Amino acid sequence: MPFPDIMPAVRDGQVDAGLVIHEARFTYTNYGLTSVVDLGAWWESDTGLPIPLGAIVARRELDHDQLGRTVRASVEHAFANPSASRQFVAEHASEMDPDVQARHIALYVNDFSVDIGDEGYAAIVGLLERAAEAGLVPPVNSATLRN
pLDDT of amino acid 95 = 65
Report whether pLDDT(147) > 60.
no
Higher pLDDT, 74 or 145: 74
Higher pLDDT, 34 or 106: 34
pLDDT of amino acid 90 = 78
pLDDT of amino acid 75 = 85
Clarify whether 104 is annotated catalytic: no
Give a three-class secondary structure readout of the chain: CCHHHHHHHHHCCCCCCCCCCCCHHHHHHHHCCCCCCCHHHHHHHHHCCCCCCCCCCCCCCCCHHHHHHHHHHHHHHHHHCHHHHHHHHHHHCCCCCHHHHHHHHHHHCCHHHHCCHHHHHHHHHHHHHHHHHCCCCCCCCHHHCCC
pLDDT of amino acid 88 = 81
- Do residues 117 and 125 touch, judged by C-beta distance below 8 A? no
Question: What are the structural domain ranges in the chain?
Answer: 1-36, 41-144
pLDDT in tens, 47-81: 999 988 777 778 889 998 999 899 889 888 888 88
Domain 41-144 fold is D-Maltodextrin-Binding Protein; domain 2 (3.40.190)
Say how far residue 21 (Cα) sits from the centre of its chain. Answer: 8
Catalytic residue of the set 22, 64, 77, 104: 22
Higher pLDDT, 9 or 144: 9
Higher pLDDT, 51 or 145: 51
pLDDT in tens, 97-144: 788 777 777 777 778 887 888 999 999 999 999 999 999 999 988 777
Confidence of residue 146 (pLDDT cuts 50, 70, 90): low
